[in-house]
Each structure stands twice: as C-alpha cells, then as structure tokens.
Chain A
Amino acid sequence: KAGVTQTPRYLIKTRGQQVTLSCSPISGHRSVSWYQQTPGQGLQFLFEYFSETQRNKGNFPGRFSGRQFSNSRSEMNVSTLELGDSALYLCASSFTGDSYNSPLHFGNGTRLTVT
C-alpha cells in the first residue's frame, strides 16, 4: 500500500513569489492535514480538509491556503513568500481526521527554502 506522497521534495523560491505544494493521501483516506515544521516553532497545524471541505484551520495568515480535490489529493498554496516561510511542510492523511480513532500517516515533506 503506497504511503502519503508529497511533491516536490525540495523547492527554492524567491521572496514575493508564490508556491504550490501537492499531497497524495493513502488510498481510501479522505482527510488531509498540513503542518509546518521549523526548528524554532516545531510542528504547527495549518489546516485540515475532508471531502473537499476545510474543517479546521490553524493560526496562520491568509497567505496560506489549500484545497482538496474529489480524489482526496490536496494542494497548499503560499502567496507572497517571506523568508520566514522557509520550512518543511508535512502532509498527513487519515480515514476520518479523528486523531484518536483514525491515526495520522505523514509524508516525508516538502522542504521549502525562500531566498
């Protein structure tokens, strides 16, 4: 069974640009969550999608957005990139998004560097 796949693995962008990251969940999983991981702040929750609807959102500015397609694949977009957006972006999928009964399965992440 294929795991969670994130593309691309590495990305270098310039301040002010925008970027789109992609996540393919495990087959059958309908919930996709996104997290930002930095050395200073650790792992922080961005948002969660279930059946193409955003159900929860973390405390990030509106420059961070996402969407989910009918096949459960998800994308997240960051507009007007800032140096502080440099991070590892992790995607996690689960059957229902209920953290306890439906554990998260994480991808290996996309490493974004903003110069």
Chain B
Amino acid sequence: GNSVTQMEGPVTLSEEAFLTINCTYTATGYPSLFWYVQYPGEGLQLLLKATKADDKGSNKGFEATYRKETTSFHLEKGSVQVSDSAVYFCASTYSGGGADGLTFGKGTHLIIQP
C-alpha cells in the first residue's frame, strides 16, 4: 500500500520565522506529490505540486522539492505570516498520475503568532 507521514503538530511559530513541515511517502515508482492547505472555515485547496524527481513546486512563498532518494516532499517557507495559519496536508498518488485516489498525511496544524 501507500502511506504518507507528516508531523501533526500543532506547530507554533512567530511571524517571519522559517517554516519546515516534513513529509515522507512510501509509494513506489514515481507518484505525483501535493501539498493541500485548509484555512479556517474553508475547504482543502491545492497549494503546490510536483510530478518527478527534483521538481520544485512553489506557490504563495511556499516551496517543496520532490526528493526521490529520500522519498520526501518537505514544505518550506522563508518568512511565515499570521495569514499562513492553517492545516497543511501532504498527499501522493499511488503511483504515477491517473485517476487513483490521493493518499493524505494526517495534516499539520500551523499556528503563526504575531
């Protein structure tokens, strides 16, 4: 099977701090990888994605690099803002692309304090 592991938190940081949320996956082959974000009161939305080794996804100042050798897709941001407070989910397809369901991590609750 496939599983995605990420720190669950809550992770509490001060504004302008550096953020890293670790994510590792077990799917074989070349799964597509995603980070989804859920802001308070809203549905999950795609933050960024990557489909092959060494690809870097980026959006809203967040970045994540597809590391095949360590089966990881860690999320980073250089300077977080209060508005980044949300729950972040790492996800992967089972293998490759296609219409298979996504496997999600359990989510990391991020709290940014002013």
> Do residues B43 and A90 form an inter-chain contact, with CB atoms below 8 A?
yes
- Which B-chain residue is minimally distant from A45 (CB atoms)? B101
Could you say which residues of chain B place their CB within 8 Å of the CB of A44?
A: 104
- Residue in contact with B42 in the complex, picked from A47, A48, A99, A108, CB distance below 8 Å: A108
- Residue in contact with A107 in the complex, picked from B43, B101, B103, B107, CB distance below 8 Å: B43
Mostly, the B contact residues are: loop
> Do residues A100 and B99 form an inter-chain contact, with CB atoms below 8 A?
no
> Do residues A100 and B46 form an inter-chain contact, with CB atoms below 8 A?
no
How far apart are the CA atoms of A103 and B99 in the complex, in Å?
A: 11
Contacts known (A90-B43, A99-B32); A42 close to B105, Cβ less than 8 A: yes
Residue B72 is within 8 A (CB to CB) of chain A in the complex: no
> Do residues B103 and A45 form an inter-chain contact, with CB atoms below 8 A?
yes
Q: Could you mark each residue 25-36 of chain A with 1 if its beta carbon is under 8 Å from any beta carbon of chain B, else 0?
A: 000000101010
Number of A-B contacts (CB under 8 A): 71
> Do residues A104 and B46 form an inter-chain contact, with CB atoms below 8 A?
yes
Residue A63 is within 8 A (CB to CB) of chain B in the complex: no
- Which A-chain residue is minimally distant from B33 (CB atoms)? A100
- Residue in contact with B99 in the complex, picked from A48, A58, A92, A108, CB distance below 8 Å: A48
> Do residues B43 and A3 form an inter-chain contact, with CB atoms below 8 A?
yes
Q: Can you report 26 A-B residue pairs in the complex whose CB atoms are below 8 A from each other?
A: A4-B43, A31-B99, A42-B106, A42-B107, A43-B102, A43-B104, A44-B104, A45-B101, A45-B102, A56-B101, A58-B101, A90-B44, A96-B99, A98-B98, A98-B99, A99-B32, A99-B34, A99-B93, A99-B100, A104-B102, A105-B43, A105-B45, A106-B44, A106-B45, A108-B43, A109-B43
- Which residues of A are interface residues toward B (Cβ below 8 A)? 3-4, 31, 33, 35, 41-48, 50, 55-56, 58, 90, 92, 96-101, 103-109
